[in-house]
Amino acid sequence: MSQPTIHDAVRVVYSNAVNISGNDVNSLEVFDENHSPITIDVNSVNTAFTTLEANYTAQQTAQSNAKTSALAKLTALGLTADEISALVG
């Protein structure tokens, strides 16, 4: 999962959004498949973005914790730092 963008949040709220331009919620222009503009609710997009960011952060934390746990388990099994590096890079 990559770092979420405001465009990702728009797609969560407006599944019919096909073309999105603009780099922040106040400059967004959103169009559907018929090239018709979609009027966006800024609060809904901001809420979706906050949720996406929180999910991303939680996933990154979980991956980091899993790696730390795995390395600790390998060390507890008696593997040396060189052996662990050879396994995980």
Query: Is residue 11 within 8 Å of 17, Cβ to Cβ?
Result: yes
Query: Is residue 43 within 8 Å of 61, Cβ to Cβ?
Result: no
Q: Given phi > 0 = left and psi -120 to 50 = alpha, else beta, which region is 9?
A: alpha
| pLDDT tens readout for residues 54-81 | 999 999 999 999 999 999 999 999 999 9
| pLDDT tens readout for residues 9-31 | 999 999 999 999 998 999 999 99
Q: Which residues contact 56 (CB under 8 A, 6 or more apart)?
A: 1, 3, 4
CA distance 1 to 23: 20
